[in-house]
């Protein structure tokens, strides 16, 4: 409890103190109500019969006023508690979210994201039911309140009636709490166990609500989706019921023990009362106190706090796990990365296999990309073209071999600085649900606000007309789910992405990577755009990946990637003359176009 409390007090001192303080105060007031009620009830007969040893009326009135006052304050505190708790939650959610995502985002490489140990560590840090640290902290004040009720009520029973009865009550309550906690824990485990059915149900939910609403309608799959969702969800819930059924016997036993203990305590009080051994005040205080102990078991909160603590510990451990398993190279400041590459980027005998894979995607590959040269890379699906781009960007390091930038091993360079040198449009480029401006200037965020360059790249990428037609021009949000937002076509998005890369080049990027940059454009538009692009970016090392030869042929040099290595290298004409793989692929595609054009004619 203390560990979690210290953390929450550090993140949100005021609201945490208020949340815990008010919950504790609520319990203390609850005990005060029990004591005052006992005093009032005990005094009533004397006051009514006007006996000489009765409580003076003024004192009785004060007692009643005190009881009323405590009662009023106790009813007001939940509202303040709720507000304080909401403020605390918000601060904790932000902090936990940041503490988990920051170490995952910090590395410049991405291999840690595919490491199952890191994934597990991340899952543990989150906890099964969302941010478990936050849930733990939400329930912690109630656990503290329960404990105060338990101890306070037990002390009343001990003082006013019997210490062994108090001890027995605490024991049966804690047994029930422990058992109840175990039950909750197991149910949570089953429920959040991510069974196949639950995962499928969640997937179907997202599919219908977010991912594919249009396709589902086009294919008339809405009814099917609802049926499947209900079926999978129900199937996912069955294990929980199964677990409840199995536990029913023990639940009855634990509940019965608790009930019997409480009943025995009340019966003993009754017997002492009948025997005239217990005055009215003690009776009226002890009975509610017995119930106070009985009801203060809080297995749910115990479990949530315990899980919150283990999620908190995993969260603290996460950066260490990542740093240990995926150390970032110590970068040397001796190299002026901001002017690289001045000569070339060279892949030297590079082999690569993805983490957890047995297959070498690249095998002893040698390739030189010269500065100021536009190099095109072609190859069949899955040949490893995008993989090569990921290695070039330092997202992965080669399994063996080296990548040299002007003769310096990429592993020795400041990776962050090198990545800033690269302007890339990858196949699944990011479509930010933000304004057009943001979508373009994210190419070189340090140049945000440079409207002249923004207007220039808009013209160059051919998006000036698109922007002019948007409701809020450059400020239009490119997502229809936002107010005034719009959806763009695939081709328009690609032009936006091209403008982003161009913005980066104008801001000084030294390597331009275009991986299937304009496949959503029609063939002529794509070829024309890339041609213009290459003119605009001459002076920058460009790597272009495309399946369309109308794009590829514009490059200064073309490399064919197959079987993990470069099997052909030359200009378009040279490769055609050679009559190898490139020539075959080119003729095949050209033939198709010639046939289609002839048919159209």
Ligand X SMILES: Nc1ncnc2c1ncn2[C@@H]1O[C@H](COP(=O)(O)OP(=O)(O)OP(=O)(O)O)[C@@H](O)[C@H]1O
CA torsion 416-417-419-423 (nearest 10°) is 140
Nearest distance, CB of residue 393 and ligand X, angstroms: 13
Nearest distance, CB of residue 420 and ligand X, angstroms: 23
Please list every residue from 383 through 402 that binds ligand X, using CB under 6 A. 383-387
Of 81 and 390, nearer to ligand X (C-beta) is 390
Only segment of 135-143, 236-244, 375-383, 436-444 that touches ligand X (CB under 6 A): 375-383
Q: What Cα–Cα distance (Å) separates residue 527 from each residue in 27, 161, 553, 587?
A: 75, 93, 9, 17
Q: Pattern 398-437, binding to ligand X, x per CB under 6 A?
A: ----------------------------------------
What distance in Å separates the CA atoms of residue 445 and residue 439, rounded to the nearest whole number?
10
Please state the φ and ψ torsions of residue 413, each to the nearest 5 degrees.
-85, 160
Nearest distance, CB of residue 563 and ligand X, angstroms: 12
What distance in Å separates the CA atoms of residue 364 and residue 352, rounded to the nearest whole number?
9
Q: Are 552 and 571 spatial neighbours (Cβ–Cβ below 8 Å)?
A: no
Q: Pattern 515-544, binding to ligand X, x per CB under 6 A?
A: ------------------------------
Q: Is 220 in the site for ligand X (CB under 6 A)?
A: no
Nearest distance, CB of residue 385 and ligand X, angstroms: 4
Q: Is 77 in the site for ligand X (CB under 6 A)?
A: no
Q: Is 119 in the site for ligand X (CB under 6 A)?
A: no
Of 223 and 382, nearer to ligand X (C-beta) is 382
Cβ neighbors of 274 (< 8 A, separation 6 or more) are: none
Taking CB under 6 A as the criterion, the residue among 8, 361, 463, 509 binding ligand X is: 361
Q: What stretches of 397-538 show up as alpha helix (H) in DSSP? A: 415-421, 436-441, 451-461, 464-468, 490-506, 523-536
DSSP state of 329: P
Taking CB under 6 A as the criterion, the residue among 379, 401, 462, 510 binding ligand X is: 379
DSSP state of 343: S
Taking CB under 6 A as the criterion, the residue among 116, 381, 452, 600 binding ligand X is: 381
Cβ neighbors of 220 (< 8 A, separation 6 or more) are: none
DSSP state of 114: G
Q: Is 354 in the site for ligand X (CB under 6 A)?
A: yes
Of 50 and 428, nearer to ligand X (C-beta) is 428
Only segment of 60-68, 71-79, 116-124, 378-386 that touches ligand X (CB under 6 A): 378-386
What distance in Å separates the CA atoms of residue 374 and residue 387, rounded to the nearest whole number?
19
The gap from C-alpha 207 to its chain's centroid, in whole angstroms, comes to 19
DSSP β-bridge partners for residue 242: none
Q: Pattern 296-335, binding to ligand X, x per CB under 6 A?
A: ----------------------------------------
What distance in Å separates the CA atoms of residue 315 and residue 277, rounded to the nearest whole number?
57
Binding site for ligand X (CB under 6 A): 354, 357, 361, 379, 381-387
């Amino acid at each position: 409890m203390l560990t979690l409390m210290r953390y929450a007090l550090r993140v949100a001192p005021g609201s945490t103190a208020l949340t815990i303080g008010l919950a504790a105060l609520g319990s203390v007031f609850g005990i005060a109500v029990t004591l005052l009620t006992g005093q009032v009830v005990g005094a009533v007969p004397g006051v009514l019969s006007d006996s000489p040893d009765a409580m003076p009326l003024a004192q009785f009135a004060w007692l009643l006023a005190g009881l009323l006052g405590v009662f009023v304050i106790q009813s007001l505190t939940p509202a303040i508690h709720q507000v304080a708790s909401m403020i605390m939650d918000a601060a904790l959610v932000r902090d936990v979210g940041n503490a988990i995502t920051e170490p995952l985002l910090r590395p410049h490489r991405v291999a840690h994201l595919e490491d199952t140990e890191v994934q597990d560590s991340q899952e543990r840090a989150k906890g099964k039911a969302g941010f478990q640290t936050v849930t733990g902290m939400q329930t912690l004040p109630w656990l503290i309140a329960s404990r105060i009720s338990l101890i306070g009520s037990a002390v009343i029973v001990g003082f006013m009636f019997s210490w062994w009865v108090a001890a027995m009550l605490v024991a049966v309550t804690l047994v029930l709490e422990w058992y109840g906690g175990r039950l909750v824990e197991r149910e949570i485990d089953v429920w959040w166990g991510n069974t196949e059915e639950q995962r499928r149900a969640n997937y179907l939910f997202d599919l219908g609500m977010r991912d594919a609403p249009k396709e589902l309608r086009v294919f008339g799959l809405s009814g099917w989706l609802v049926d499947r969702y209900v079926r999978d969800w129900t199937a996912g819930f069955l294990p929980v019921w199964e677990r409840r059924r199995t536990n029913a016997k023990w639940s009855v036993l634990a509940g019965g023990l608790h009930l019997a203990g409480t009943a025995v305590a009340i019966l003993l009080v009754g017997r002492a009362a009948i025997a005239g051994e217990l005055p009215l005040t003690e009776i009226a205080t002890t009975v509610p106190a017995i119930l106070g102990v009985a009801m203060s078991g809080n297995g749910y909160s115990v479990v949530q706090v315990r899980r919150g603590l283990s999620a908190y510990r995993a969260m603290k451990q996460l950066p260490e796990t990542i740093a240990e398993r995926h150390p970032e190279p110590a970068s040397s400041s001796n190299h002026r990365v901001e002017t690289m590459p001045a000569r070339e980027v060279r892949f030297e005998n590079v082999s690569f296999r993805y983490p957890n894979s047995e297959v070498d995607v690249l095998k002893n590959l040698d390739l030189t990309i010269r500065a100021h040269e536009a190099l095109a890379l072609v190859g069949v699906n899955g040949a490893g073209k995008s993989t090569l781009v990921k290695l070039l960007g330092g997202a992965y390091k080669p399994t063996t071999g080296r990548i040299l930038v002007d003769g310096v091993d990429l592993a020795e360079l400041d990776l962050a600085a090198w990545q800033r040198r690269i302007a890339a449009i990858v196949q699944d480029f990011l479509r930010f649900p933000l304004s057009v401006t943001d979508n373009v200037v994210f190419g070189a965020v340090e140049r945000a606000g440079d409207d002249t360059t923004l207007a220039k790249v808009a013209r160059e990428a051919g998006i000036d007309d698109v922007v002019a037609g948007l409701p809020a021009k450059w400020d239009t949000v490119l997502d229809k789910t936002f107010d005034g937002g719009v959806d763009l076509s695939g081709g328009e998005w690609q032009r936006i992405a091209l403008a982003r890369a161009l913005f980066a080049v104008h801001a000084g990027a030294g390597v331009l990577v275009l991986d299937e940059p304009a496949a959503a454009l029609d063939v002529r538009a794509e070829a024309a755009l890339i041609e213009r692009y290459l003119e605009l970016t001459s002076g920058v090392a460009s790597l272009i990946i495309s399946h369309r030869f109308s794009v590829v042929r514009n490059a200064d040099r073309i490399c064919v990637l197959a079987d993990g290595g470069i099997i052909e290298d030359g200009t378009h004409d040279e490769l055609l003359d050679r009559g190898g793989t490139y020539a075959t692929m080119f003729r095949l595609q050209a033939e198709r176009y010639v046939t289609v054009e002839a048919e159209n004619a």
